[in-house]
A and B are shown apart, each in its own frame.
Chain A
């Protein structure tokens, strides 16, 4: 071995190490972020579904058409969100925007990273929105 080839493996390691650490950061922090995203998505989905149950009964009785009571939809979405929000890490918030046709909600969470902070991503904000609507085919009250 020539003298100037000594320590070659260390140099290669030094080059490869940031890439390996980046991979670790993606797996660990990315996995955690995706996990929180999934919880936000599922919570939003269940909340939107609950919101879509707030059918305006008086309107239905008058017209035989199904629309949502927006205030009631927001209340049900908020309740469902609060029931599930305790399991989501970090700071978590929700926005409610139902229309007369659909229950809608967006859930957003903000979590600190472990390895990502070294690379400049101190926090990530996974979030998801969902919407649901009463199905067609409701023909009588209580169906």
Chain B
């Protein structure tokens, strides 16, 4: 046979060197993928919340409608635990037609279950926030 004694296991060594690199890349993909996905979910939830709240005629109705819209949007993204999201709806002044309302959605992205996430960060739990200002509707509109 043409196999030299010092060539044995060469393939294993090469694979052992390469596997961590490939796993790191896979980890980065999973890490950032989940991270951006949660950001997108929070953005959509904040937008839905604002859009729904500005159609309400009074503060109580606006806060209720906005909160439901935000949680429904988050639930649609199948996040691990959307009930942990904090939804804040605040008017700039009084809740009057033509006034301004801000809806903020805060959520902690938990990436501890993502494979190799701890290679990238010792405690991969990140708070994210998304908020939008909207103007309370004066008239009905299509948009």
Contact = CB atoms under 8 A, between A and B. Distances in A.
A52 B10 CA distance: 70
A9 B11 contact: yes
A38 B44 contact: yes
A6 B143 contact: no
B39 interface: yes
A46 B18 CA distance: 49
Contacts of B17: 9-10
Given A24-B28, A24-B29, A35-B43, A55 B14 contact: no
Q: Which 6 A-B pairs have the closest CB atoms?
A: A132-B143, A9-B14, A31-B36, A135-B140, A83-B133, A50-B135
Contact of B14 (A8, A32, A52, A137): A8
Contacts of A62: none
Interface residues of B, number: 44
A133 B29 contact: no
10 contacts: A8-B14, A24-B28, A24-B32, A31-B35, A35-B43, A38-B44, A52-B141, A83-B100, A132-B143, A137-B140
Given A3-B4, A10-B14, A135-B141, A50 B134 contact: yes
B131 interface: yes
Interface of A: 1-3, 6-10, 13, 17, 20-21, 23-24, 27-28, 31-32, 34-35, 38-39, 42-43, 45-46, 48-50, 52-53, 55, 66, 76, 79-80, 83-84, 87, 130-135, 137-138, 143
Nearest to A50: B135
Contacts of A83: 100, 133
Given A3-B2, A27-B29, A42-B43, 15 more contacts: A1-B7, A3-B4, A9-B18, A13-B18, A20-B25, A21-B25, A23-B29, A27-B28, A50-B134, A53-B139, A80-B134, A87-B131, A132-B143, A133-B142, A135-B140
A1 B130 CA distance: 57
Nearest to A135: B140
Given A28-B32, A53-B141, A35 B40 contact: yes
Nearest to B134: A46
B94 interface: no
Interface string B13-27: 011011001100100
A42 B22 CA distance: 37
B50 interface: yes
Interface in B79-137: 98, 100, 130-135, 137
